[in-house]
Amino acid sequence: MAAGKISQLTLAGDGCGLPWSAPDCGPAGVAIPEVRILIDDPRGSDVRALVECHLEFARSHKPAGDLHALDVAGLLDHAVTVFSYRAGGDLLAVGALKRLDRRHAELKSMHTAEAARGRGIGRAMLAHLIGVARDRGFRRLSLKTGSQPAFAPARSLYATAGFTPCRPFSGYRPSHGSTFMTPSLDSPGAAA
């Protein structure tokens, strides 16, 4: 992104996985590349590469027995929908929703490319995923992230979107290395 943080207008995606775009110009008429969040194929070379960065990050900060990040094969599960965040065609972030049952989904594989961090891209992706979860009729959206210091920015992002600590869900076991979080999708506070 050429000019700072993403505007609130950009955060107002349609929540249905349909393309949406940022305004044509930023501050002082600086052109901003077209921003799109779309359903994507995890087998695509750039998506696969960013998923591998996500896995490497998780492996470097979590004990092996407590690693539940999905690889490309896991993202191909019929219960998972993968989304990509692209600006001017360049992949900057990925995120996924996994249907656990008809009312409960799990947020998976949220990752922003290192060079694109600090621009509000993760917040935009999270807002989009929450919107999609609501549109699909889920009443609960849960996630599992690390409790290590390296995951503090992620936990902070989730907390600002209304996620609060919860008990392990969907067969996960309690772990000192994991933090489980969920918002109420019925609450207007659950938005990034």
What is the end-to-end Cα distance of the chain in Å, rounded? Answer: 19
pLDDT of residue 33: 75
* Residue whose structure tokens are 């008990």: 167
DSSP characters for 66-89?
Answer: G-----HHHHTSTTEEEEEEEETT
d(CA 156, CA 176): 18
d(CA 46, CA 115): 14
d(CA 126, CA 41): 18
Which CA distances in Å does 25 have to 13, 62, 173? Answer: 18, 41, 48
pLDDT of residue 185: 73
Nearest to residue 52, comparing CAs of 120, 109, 123? 109
d(CA 128, CA 122): 10
| pTM of structure | 0.79
pLDDT of residue 31: 64
Tens of pLDDT along the chain (192 residues) come to 333 333 332 333 333 333 434 434 455 556 667 889 999 999 999 999 999 999 898 888 877 777 778 889 999 999 999 999 999 999 999 999 999 999 999 999 999 999 999 999 999 999 999 999 999 999 999 999 999 999 999 999 999 999 999 999 999 999 888 999 999 776 555 554
Two tokens, residue 94: 């990925």
d(CA 26, CA 144): 35
DSSP for residue 114: G
